[in-house]
Structure 1
Amino acid sequence: MGIPIYFLALFAILIILVAAVVVYFQVCKRHINKALEATESKRTSMVPPYKAAIVMTIIVLLIGILISYYAGYATAYKHYDEDVWVISASDIQTFYAEVKKVDEHSILVEGISLNDEDYRGEFRYDLWEGLNISRQETVIPLSDLSEGDLVSITLLTDRTGITNIFKIQLLTDVN
């Protein structure tokens, strides 16, 4: 496992800070030596070292805050992106129901008594285009479902907590 990029960036910023301080003190030392050798009229003023140190510290703190923000954002987004497609067994639920009513884009079903208590009673689901409705491994249209048919409904819950129908399978034909 390599070193995270934000540690490298932070290290680079610290090196730049140290280099700037060293260069500043070299320039300051040269300026002081010239000032001691020069006459009173040729002297130029220079920023005191403590003011330069304060300015550099503020700049490094701001850069550090920005790096921390973006590194945290990148890490959190990476973890979210990895976890969003992971499905656990508790995210998939199947229950059995009797079809009560079939509309063009929705279905009303009543869970049978073999189901858990959560899946007994009436449920209305809006159906999206491309939903897999099948009978014995053969894809069938929604119009093939009719009142009284026994179906198994597989629900999938995503990471945001939204539950949608993943698959409807016709179990028996009542003709």
Structure 2
Amino acid sequence: MNFPTFLNYPTFFLALFAIVIILVATVIVYFQVYKRHINKALGTTEGKRTSMVPPNRVAIVMTIIVLIIGIFISYIAGYANAKDDAWVMSHSDIQTFYAEVKEVGEKTLLVDGISLNDENYRGEFQYDIWGEVSIYRQDAVIRLSDLSEGDLVSITLLTDRTGITNIFKIQLLADKNLNMGRRTVR
């Protein structure tokens, strides 16, 4: 959720600032009322006086109220920010390019981007492959060791909110066992 800003401060900061100002104003006004009440009580010799809560207790209660309101505002603002930003992805966050496998290591893959790609994805790229990377041949999941030099693959990259780009998926496009659309018999 994009909060509107005033002087480059998010709205929830301004709301919290307004609550603190209300706290301070309330305590100042209460001090003044308490001071007048004490002066009036001292000036009156009659035995009847109404008692007022001491200002230090009012300040403590108001501070607790402001803390609770601040926590509530922080929770709402954090939830709104996380909820809206967590699942929103732009088209530039997911990129797919095509490459020929040059070398397959135990946990690495060296590929050469083909000429059909955008110029950013031409040339050699080496990737570290971890367990969360899915590698597919058609609809079946395969291991990294199932890829070999010369295989044509599509590599889907995902850029997260922090700007870090990782491999999301590798798809084997051409199987060496396919010949003109037919499987060879072994």
TM over 0.5: yes
CA contact (8 A) 2:16 2:70 kept: no
Q: Which residue of 2 aligns with 1:165?
A: 167
Q: Which residue of 2 aligns with 1:13?
A: 23
Q: TM-score, normalised by structure 2?
A: 0.64
Pairing 1:24–2:35 present? yes
Once the two structures are superposed, the pairs formed by residues 62-141 of structure 1 within 5 Å of their partners are 77-78=78-79, 80-82=81-83, 83-141=85-143
Amino acid at match of 2:23: I
Say what the alpha-carbon RMSD is for the aligned residues: 3.6
Deviation at 1:75, TM superposition (A): 6.5
CA contact (8 A) 1:96 1:115 kept: yes
Measured against aligned partners, the alpha-carbon deviations of 1:19-50 in whole angstroms (never above 9, x if no partner) come to: 3432232123222445xx9xxxxxxxxxxxxx
Unpaired stretches in structure 2, ≥5 consecutive residues: 1-11, 47-58, 178-186
Higher percent of residues as helix: 1
Deviation at 1:88, TM superposition (A): 1.4
Measured against aligned partners, the alpha-carbon deviations of 1:47-99 in whole angstroms (never above 9, x if no partner) come to: xxxxxxxxxxxx8xxx6xx8698788656644542313321111000000000
Amino acid at match of 1:110: D
Deviation at 1:128, TM superposition (A): 1.2
Amino acid at match of 1:28: N
Q: TM-score, normalised by structure 1?
A: 0.68
SS at match of 1:94: strand
CA contact (8 A) 2:16 2:73 kept: no
CA gap 1:147/1:86 in 2 versus in 1, 3 angstroms: same
Unpaired stretches in structure 1, ≥5 consecutive residues: 38-58
Larger Rg: 1
Deviation at 1:173, TM superposition (A): 1.4
Deviation at 1:166, TM superposition (A): 0.4
CA contact (8 A) 1:6 1:71 kept: no
Q: Name the CA distance, whole Å, in 2 between partners of 1:32 and 1:109.
A: 93
SS at match of 1:86: coil
User: How many residue pairs get matched?
Assistant: 147
Q: Name the CA distance, whole Å, in 1 between partners of 2:116 and 2:167.
A: 20
Once the two structures are superposed, the pairs formed by residues 28-47 of structure 1 within 5 Å of their partners are 28-33=39-44
Q: Which residue of 1 aligns with 2:147?
A: 145
CA contact (8 A) 1:148 1:174 kept: no
SS at match of 2:150: coil
CA gap 1:19/1:80 in 2 versus in 1, 3 angstroms: same
Q: Name the CA distance, whole Å, in 1 between partners of 2:165 and 2:132.
A: 17
Amino acid at match of 2:32: V
Q: Name the CA distance, whole Å, in 2 between partners of 1:161 and 1:76.
A: 23
